[in-house]
Amino acid sequence: MALSGVEIFKLLPKTNCKECGVPTCLAFAMKLAAKQASLDQCPYASDEAKKVLGAAAEPPIRVVTIGTGDNAVKMGDEVVLFRHDKKFFNPTAIALAVNDDDANIDAKVAAVKNSVIERVGQFLRVNAITVIDKSGDAAKFAAVVAKVVAADIPVILHTKNAAVAEAGVKSAAGKKPMIYAADESNAEAMAGVAKAGGASLAITAKGLDALTALSEKVKGLGVDDIVLDSGARTAKEMIHDYTMIRRAAAKKNFKPLGYPVIGFACRDNAQAETAITAVGIMKYASLVVVNSIEKWQNIALFTLRQNIFTDPQVPMQVEEKIYKIGEPDANSPLMITTNFSLTYFIVAGEVENSKVPCWLAIMNNEGLSVLTAWAAGKFTAGNIAKFINEIGADKVVGHKELIIPGYVSVLSGSLEDKLGGGWKVVVGPREANQLPAFLKQKVAA
Ligand code: SF4
């Protein structure tokens, strides 16, 4: 459980020596509480302080990873119930369910591999494959697992049979698979397979009391990387159980439920499946298993997930600079907008659509959109003129014409005055989707 600044202060030397770079031990304690400093910065911290603060620094929900490398799925490590209290850290993973006797396994592996889309500078994808033991044949199961692993996709081994799980773990050796699942009937055997193979272990029980007891049992068997399935399958059950689990872990530091959660949204109806998956994304599932990954489902779910898991206190931003869109030359149009990611990517996309090479000057407005930045007094004539001059726009283009967003047309006159030196300001369209027509007309003129 996180300690308050005052509780941390009691553990510090209280000499105010300043060697940590902060004027007082109390100020340093406050920084530690806000996770803006590390105890290593105090050379005089006692062993007791290190022990207590080390334990307090453990996340209330344990981090569990499936897979290795860039595509690994990291789950857990969450600390709050509501994203506005801090942020959510590890986006809900989506895993496609594949039966080991499915005739279309190769196509499904390829579909997961090719599910990547780029949105506002981030690459979003279906994250894992759950191989389901339908055949009861360990060799067949292991062969499918090998195909998934060969494609560098994190794998979940879905079986209640310890011998099949063992074959799957061997097939995914060194790739940190997750076994689904241990229950009351097979916990000892599954725990043994997970420990021996370096796999994480999902546990399943009906209801939170039974899940708590099973979690304590599996932990007692020496498994640290546990993932929870309460048996919830409807939206109502998922919201109830997952909220109780998150609350117990984040608010009460209740260790038996301090693990990531796996949910199953699998439905024959793709729309219903998408809706249930959305519930899991919004309400604390660390990973949701689905039956289908049609592009329309992915776009909806990826977008939702990206929005839930961005930091609500830090707008998504792109770097301040002049971007080339296409292959512009000295005569190409020069436009300006703010560094809010969504603004940048929408404008850049529409300029690309226009096929008119352009220079796009992106000004740092702390990630605010055009109108918000203008209303906040950041995207002003004075600031824009200063930015355009300091960034050397006149050395990038051979003309002195700057296109501003239509929403801030009110700035055009004052901006021309502030820029001076013969600069001309042209008011562009209000909406980005009007840019292609505007630019084509401009170069044709
Ligand atoms: S280095 Fe340690 S003892 Fe010195 S001021 Fe910082 S917290 Fe206090």
Distance 45 CA to ligand 1 centre (A): 8
pLDDT confidence of 1, banded at 50, 70, 90? low
| Joined tokens for residue 411 | 């700035």
Ligand 1 mutation pick, 24, 39, 42, max ligand atoms within 8 A of CB: 42
- Residue 396 belongs to what H/E stretch? helix 393-396
> Is the beta carbon of 44 within 6 A of some atom in ligand 1?
yes
For residue 409, count other CB atoms closer than 10 A to its CB: 13
- Does 5-57 match 64-308 in CATH topology? no
* CA angle centred on 97, ends 94 and 103, rounded to 5°: 140
pLDDT confidence of 438, banded at 50, 70, 90? very high
- Domain 5-57 sits in CATH at 1.10.15.40
* Largest Cα span, the chain: 81
User: How large is the C-alpha radius of gyration of the chain?
Assistant: 27
Q: Give dist(CA 442, CA 46) in Å, integer.
A: 69
Residue type, 335: M
* CA angle centred on 334, ends 332 and 337, rounded to 5°: 150
Q: Which CATH class is domain 321-444?
A: alpha beta
Ligand 1 mutation pick, 11, 18, 20, max ligand atoms within 8 A of CB: 20
Q: Give dist(CA 338, CA 407) in Å, integer.
A: 12
How high is the mean pLDDT of the chain?
A: 94
Distance 20 CA to ligand 1 centre (A): 5
Alpha helices in 225-378 (DSSP H): 235-252, 270-282, 295-308, 341-354, 370-375
Residue 121 has pLDDT above 80, yes or no: no
Q: Is omega for the bond preceding 181 within 30 degrees of 0, making it cis?
A: yes
The domain 64-308 belongs to what CATH superfamily? Dihydropteroate synthase-like (3.20.20.20)
Domain coordinates in residue numbering, the chain: 5-57, 64-308, 321-444
Q: What is the pLDDT of residues 43-78, one digit of tens each?
A: 999 998 888 887 776 789 999 999 999 999 999 999
Q: What is the pLDDT of residue 57?
A: 67
Q: What is the pLDDT of residues 222-236, one digit of tens each?
A: 999 999 999 999 999
Are the CB atoms for 282 and 308 separated by under 8 Å?
yes
Q: What is the pTM of this model?
A: 0.79
User: Percent of the chain at pLDDT above 90?
Assistant: 86
> Is the beta carbon of 410 within 6 A of some atom in ligand 1?
no
